[in-house]
C-alpha cells in the first residue's frame, strides 16, 4: 500500500512539473516577452495546459486513490497528513475530470490572448477594445462553472469561488461584506469629514525607479525573502509566481512620482513570496501538502506584511534611516512620525492596488458585485463601464475619470480569474485575526519590528500557516490558530484604533 501511495505522489509530481513550465511562460509573458510573441505564446500555453490536464486526469490516479482510501493505516486517522493529502487529491481529481480537455486548452489560449488585449486596452483606456475578449472569457468561465456545477443551495458563481477559496459561498461572503462595507464607509466619512489628515508631503517626492528597486530589495531581504531562490522584476500589474521549489518570482511596478506604491506593492508580493517559499514544496511538490491552502490565506500573508507590518510606526522606526540612505535626503528629512502618518493617509482613490487600508475593501466589494452579476447574467459585458462607474461613485463619492482607472485597472478578468476577488477582503479579515493571535504569542513583536528583527514573526507564520500546506481547510486553519471562526471585528477594530488618532479623532 505504501507503494500505491508513493506512486500517487509521483504522478502528482509529474503533473506539477508541466504546470510549473506553464507558470514560467505566464511569468515571462507578464515581464519580458516582446509583444510580437503573444500569438505563439497563446498556442504554447494551450498546449501545456492540455498536457497538464491529461496528467492531472490520468485514470491511474483514480485507481490509486481507490486503493489508498481503502487502506486503514493511511486513512484511519482522518487528520493525519496522509489522510488529508489523499482527501485533497480526491477533491482535485474530481474537479479536474469534470473539465473537458478542449475547454482547458481554450481557456489557456484565450487567457493568453486576452491578457495582451487587456494590456493594450488599458494603456489606451479603451474598454470597447477589450469587450470582445471579456465576452469570450466570460462565456468560457461560465462553461467551466457549469462543468463543476453549482453547490447544493448555491449559485453558479460559487463553483468559481470554490477554485480559489474552498467552501466559500457568495451569499455568505455578501453577509460579511455588506455590514463591513457600511462600517468602513462610515469610518472613511468620519475621517475625511471631521478629521485632520496627516501631511502628505512625504508621498510627493520623486524618486528614480532604480533607487526604489534597491530599497525594495533591501526590505525583501530583511523580512526574510530568499533572493537566492527568488527574484524581483517589473510588470504592468504586480503579482507573485511560485514557479517551483527554489524558484519564486515577484513583480512590482514603479512610478517616480509615487515611491510608496512600489514599496507596498513589493511588500505585498513579498508576503505572497514568503508563503510560497514556506510551504513544503521540496518534499511534497505537486501534492496538496506542498501547496497553499487558499487565496484567502495567501492574501492574509501579503496583506499582513504590506499593512500590519509595513504601515506600522515600528516598521518606519527601522526603515526611516535605510530609506534616507537608499532613497536620498528628500526622504531622510522626514521624521518617523511624518512617514508613518503619510503612509496611512486615507483617500478616495481610483486604483485598488494603490488604495489605503480603509478604502481598499470597498474596491474589492465593487468588483465582487460586478463579476457576480456577470456570471448570473444580470449584467452584460457591454454595460460594465456604466455599472462600474455608477457603483464606484456611490461608494467613493467621486466620478471615475476613465476606463483605465475604472473597470480596466485589474488584470484578473483577462485571465478568466472570476471568483478570485472576494479573497482579497477575506485575506484582510484573516490577517487581522491572525495578528491578534501573533501579538499575544509574541508580546515583544513591536520592539522586534522597530529593530528590524522580522525572523520571530516569519517563524510563527512558517510553523503555523505555511508548513501545513493544505492539511486544513481555511476555516479550520483560522479557528485552530485563533480559537474562533473568522470575524470582521478584528479588522475594523485595528483600522479604527490606528486611523482615528492619526486623524485627531
Sign of the CA dihedral 349, 355, 361, 365? positive
263 sits in which H/E element: helix 259-278
Q: How far is CA 329 from each of CA 8, 261, 314, 324, 467, rounded to the nearest angstrom? A: 58, 19, 21, 6, 41
Query: Please, is 279 exposed, middle or buried when counting C-beta atoms within 10 Å of its C-beta (0-12, 13-18, 19+)?
Result: buried
User: Does the active-site annotation cover 152?
Assistant: no
Q: How far is CA 183 from the centre of its chain?
A: 23
Query: What is the Cα–Cα distance from 73 to 75, expressed in whole angstroms?
Result: 6
**Which residue is associated with the grid cell 479536474?**
96
What's phi and psi for 76, nearest 5 deg? Answer: -60, -45
Q: What are phi and psi of 280, to 5 degrees?
A: -75, 65
Active-site pick, 30, 165, 241, 269: 269
Query: Can you point out the beta strands (E) in 331-413?
Result: none
**Is residue 449 a contact partner of residue 498, using CB atoms and an 8 Å limit?**
no
Q: List residues bridging with 232 in a β-sheet.
A: 250
460: closest CA among 474, 430, 440, 479?
Answer: 440
Rounded to whole angstroms, what are the CA distances from 312 to 94, 243, 266, 272, 332?
Answer: 44, 31, 16, 19, 18
Which pairing describes strands 247-252 and 230-234: parallel, antiparallel, or unpaired? Answer: parallel
Q: Is 299 helix (H, G, I), strand (E, B) or coil?
A: helix
| HEC string for 419-466 | CCCHHHHHHHHHHHHHHHHHHHHCCCHHHHHHCCCCHHHHHHHHHHHH
For helices 170-194 and 422-441, the axis angle rounded to 10 degrees is 70
Q: Give the residue numbers marked as catalytic.
A: 269
Amino acid at each position: 500500500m505504501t507503494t500505491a501511495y508513493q506512486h500517487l505522489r509521483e504522478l502528482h509530481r509529474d503533473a506539477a512539473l508541466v504546470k510549473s513550465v506553464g507558470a514560467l511562460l505566464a511569468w515571462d509573458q507578464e515581464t519580458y516577452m516582446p509583444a510580437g510573441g503573444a500569438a505563439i505564446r497563446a498556442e504554447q500555453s494551450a498546449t501545456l495546459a492540455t498536457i497538464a490536464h491529461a496528467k492531472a486526469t490520468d485514470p491511474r490516479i483514480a485507481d490509486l486513490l481507490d486503493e489508498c482510501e481503502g487502506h486503514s493505516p493511511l486513512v484511519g486517522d482522518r487528520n493525519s497528513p496522509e489522510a488529508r493529502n489523499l482527501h485533497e487529491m480526491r477533491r482535485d481529481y474530481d474537479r479536474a475530470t469534470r473539465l473537458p480537455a478542449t475547454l482547458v486548452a481554450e481557456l489557456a489560449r484565450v487567457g493568453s490572448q486576452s491578457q495582451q488585449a487587456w494590456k493594450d486596452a488599458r494603456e489606451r483606456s479603451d474598454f470597447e477594445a477589450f469587450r470582445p475578449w471579456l465576452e469570450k472569457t466570460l462565456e468560457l468561465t461560465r462553461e467551466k462553472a457549469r462543468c463543476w456545477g453549482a453547490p447544493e443551495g448555491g449559485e453558479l458563481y460559487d463553483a468559481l469561488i470554490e477554485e480559489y477559496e474552498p467552501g466559500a459561498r457568495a451569499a455568505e461572503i455578501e453577509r460579511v461584506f455588506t455590514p463591513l462595507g457600511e462600517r468602513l464607509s462610515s469610518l472613511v466619512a468620519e475621517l475625511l469629514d471631521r478629521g485632520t489628515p496627516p501631511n502628505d508631503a512625504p508621498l510627493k517626492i520623486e524618486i528614480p525607479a532604480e533607487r526604489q528597486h534597491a530599497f525594495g530589495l533591501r526590505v525583501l531581504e530583511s523580512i526574510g525573502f530568499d533572493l537566492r531562490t527568488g527574484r524581483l522584476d517589473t510588470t504592468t500589474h504586480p503579482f507573485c509566481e511560485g514557479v517551483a521549489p527554489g524558484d519564486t518570482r515577484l513583480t512590482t511596478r514603479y512610478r517616480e512620482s509615487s515611491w510608496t506604491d512600489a514599496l507596498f506593492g513589493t511588500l505585498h508580493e513579498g508576503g505572497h513570496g514568503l508563503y510560497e517559499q514556506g510551504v513544503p514544496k521540496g518534499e511534497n511538490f505537486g501534492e496538496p501538502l506542498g501547496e497553499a491552502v487558499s487565496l484567502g490565506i495567501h492574501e492574509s500573508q501579503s496583506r499582513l506584511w504590506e499593512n500590519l507590518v509595513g504601515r506600522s510606526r515600528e516598521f518606519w522606526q527601522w526603515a526611516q534611516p535605510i530609506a534616507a540612505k537608499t532613497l536620498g535626503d528628500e526622504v531622510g528629512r522626514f521624521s518617523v512620525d511624518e512617514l508613518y502618518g503619510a503612509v496611512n493617509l486615507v483617500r478616495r482613490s481610483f486604483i485598488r492596488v494603490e488604495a489605503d487600508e480603509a478604502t481598499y475593501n470597498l474596491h474589492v466589494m465593487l468588483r465582487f458585485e460586478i463579476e457576480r452579476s456577470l456570471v448570473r447574467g444580470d449584467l452584460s459585458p457591454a454595460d460594465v463601464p456604466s455599472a462600474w462607474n455608477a457603483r464606484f461613485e456611490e461608494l467613493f463619492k467621486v466620478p471615475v475619470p476613465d476606463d483605465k482607472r475604472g473597470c480596466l485597472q485589474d488584470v484578473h478578468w483577462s485571465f478568466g480569474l472570476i471568483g478570485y476577488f472576494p479573497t482579497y477582503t477575506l485575506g484582510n479579515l484573516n490577517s487581522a485575526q491572525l495578528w491578534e493571535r501573533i501579538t499575544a504569542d509574541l508580546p515583544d513583536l513591536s520592539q522586534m519590528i522597530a529593530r528590524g528583527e522580522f525572523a520571530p514573526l516569519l517563524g510563527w507564520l512558517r510553523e503555523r500557516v505555511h508548513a501545513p500546506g493544505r492539511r486544513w481547510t481555511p476555516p479550520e486553519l483560522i479557528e485552530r490558530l485563533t480559537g474562533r471562526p473568522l470575524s470582521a471585528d478584528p479588522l475594523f477594530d485595528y483600522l479604527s484604533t490606528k486611523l482615528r488618532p492619526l486623524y485627531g479623532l
